[in-house]
Amino acid sequence: MRLTMRVYFDYNATTPLAPEVLEAVIATTRDQFGNASSVHHFGQRAKAVLDEARSSVGALIHADPSEVVYTSGGTESDNFAIRGAADALDPGGRRHLIASAIEHEAVLNTFKALARRGWRTTLIPVDHSGIVDPDRLRELVTKDTALVSVMQANNEIGTIQPIAELAAIAHEQGALMHTDAVQAVGKIPVDVRALGVDLLSLSAHKFNGPKGAGVLWIKRGTRMQPILTGGKHERSRRAGTENVPALAGMGVAARLAIDKLASEAARVGALRDRLEEGILRAVPGTSVNGERSRRVPNTTNISFDRVEAESLLIALDLEGIAVSTGSACSSGTLEPSHVLRAMGLPTHRTQNSLRFSLGLFSTQEEVDRVVEVLPRLVQKLRALTGTTKLTKNTKVFS
Ligand SMILES: Cc1ncc(COP(=O)(O)O)c(C=O)c1O
């Protein structure tokens, strides 16, 4: 079968490299092979590349470059934030950690690991809006709490959390505030000072940069223990020879994100809305999951009544259209989404929802193709299962 066009609507899983990023990665790989810790010419040139990228990433999140610590990506940054803060605050007797119930597995499974080592962990519940209510945090945080971790934007439904308010509440009790901004960076403004956080994670491959490169921003003066011990890299905060080409690529991606943020948010937002409206109009028995008015502009998560999401995902893939059933880690399994479950959606909706996430190279033609193809595929799958009864289409979470 020859496909007429391939559509990639899975930008929240990962993004294609911007051409300028690819060029920077290739040029740095070829020309700057030095070890950035070496004192000679080759090492110093590699260090200059790292410094320039550090300034660019700092500018993207309105941070001082000296507070930007390179990591291997979002998972390491989240681990570093939580384990590093936990280790630093443990001697002071703070052995309680709080996160939202809709965090990425990088946070949730790190919490589980620390719980096995005796830490008390609490998850803040969310309602069907998919947004954390600051009053819930106020009820849970105590003088024993070491760290509160709430993501700035959710990877599955795109909802944006009230981080500044949550940070103020955490600080009232002397706890540190971490935000996983992996899905926010490049999509909405991210300003570490305005957010009022102490720690912020980001990952290059979510904003057209290379995989295996990320940052943990650590506010000056924050007590942290390293989780990778060894040499004195990154001012002794994270040992290991830096991946200079990937970090150079992240720097270029950061500059592009700064330049294009406003225009891309408007363009991609209009495409996402066209897609969402188109699907709700063309496919009966569909509804959007999560509060629509407080989302990153590129993401929509839609329930298809009486359809198994995995089957629809495969049917779409056969048509050349790539989407996701939620977090990349759980795709390929029939695990219901922990995010939709935490939002209190009925079981069938945790298993019949697809995430469409758009980005830099998405076009209107692609959107229209998906809206054209979907009704036929959904109808076919429903016919296979002999389903006729559908609930009424809803435009809001319900
Ligand atoms: C919210 C969030 N946090 C963390 C990660 C992990 O980032 P990385 O793939 O760079 O390890 C992801 C990736 O899916 C994510 O969406």
**Once rounded to an integer, what is the mean pLDDT over residues 176-192?**
98
Identity of residue 192? V
Question: Residue 334's pLDDT is what?
Answer: 63
Q: Is 356 left (phi over 0), alpha (psi -120 to 50) or beta?
A: beta
- Rounded alpha-carbon distances, angstroms, from residue 179 to 124, 163, 196, 217, 336: 14, 7, 10, 10, 25
Does 73 contact ligand 1 (Cβ within 6 A)?
Answer: yes
- Asked if residue 298 has pLDDT above 60, the reply is yes
153: number of CA atoms within 13 Å, CB side? Answer: 25
Catalytic site residue 329? yes
- Asked if residue 41 has pLDDT above 80, the reply is yes
Question: Residue 327's pLDDT is what?
Answer: 45
Domains contained in the chain, CATH given: 7-15+261-384 (3.90.1150.10), 19-257 (3.40.640.10)
**Tell me: the pLDDT tens digits for 353-371?**
999 999 999 999 999 999 9
Burial of 180 (0-12, 13-18, 19+ CB in 10 A): buried
Exactly one of 258, 329, 373, 390 is catalytic; name it: 329
**Tell me: the pLDDT tens digits for 57-87?**
999 999 999 999 999 999 999 999 999 999 9
Element (DSSP H or E) covering residue 309: helix 309-318
Does 106 contact ligand 1 (Cβ within 6 A)?
Answer: yes
pLDDT-derived band at 328, boundaries 50, 70, 90: very low
Beta strand ranges found along 125-272 (DSSP E): 145-149, 176-180, 199-203, 214-218
CA of 151 to the centre of ligand 1 (A): 11
Identity of residue 229? T
Alpha-carbon gap, residue 15 to 56, rounded angstroms: 19
> What's the maximum distance between 2 C-alpha atoms anywhere in the chain?
72
CA of 14 to the centre of ligand 1 (A): 9
Does 324 contact ligand 1 (Cβ within 6 A)?
Answer: no
Share the mean pLDDT of the chain. 94
- Asked if residue 1 has pLDDT above 90, the reply is no
pLDDT-derived band at 330, boundaries 50, 70, 90: very low
Please check whether residue 347 is in contact with residue 130, taking contact to mean a CB–CB distance below 8 angstroms.
Answer: no
Phi, psi of 378 (to 5 degrees): -65, -45
CA of 129 to the centre of ligand 1 (A): 22
DSSP assignment letter at 37: T
Burial of 389 (0-12, 13-18, 19+ CB in 10 A): exposed
**Once rounded to an integer, what is the mean pLDDT over residues 162-179?**
98
Please check whether residue 150 is in contact with residue 163, taking contact to mean a CB–CB distance below 8 angstroms.
Answer: yes
- Residue in the structure block whose two tokens are 């803040």: 124
Among 70, 104, 208, the mutation site with the greatest number of ligand 1 atoms within 8 A of its Cβ is: 104
Does 149 contact ligand 1 (Cβ within 6 A)?
Answer: no
Question: Residue 392's pLDDT is what?
Answer: 56
Among 150, 159, 188, 206, the mutation site with the greatest number of ligand 1 atoms within 8 A of its Cβ is: 206
Residue whose CA lies nearest to ligand 1 atom number 5: 74
Identity of residue 29? T
Question: Residue 329's pLDDT is what?
Answer: 45
Alpha-carbon gap, residue 257 to 298, rounded angstroms: 14
The CA-based angle 176-178-184, given to 5 degrees, is 155
Alpha-carbon gap, residue 379 to 381, rounded angstroms: 6
**Once rounded to an integer, what is the mean pLDDT over residues 235-251?**
97
Residue whose CA lies nearest to ligand 1 atom number 14: 13
**Tell me: the pLDDT tens digits for 151-168?**
999 999 999 999 999 999
End-to-end CA distance of the chain: 39
- Asked if residue 397 has pLDDT above 90, the reply is no
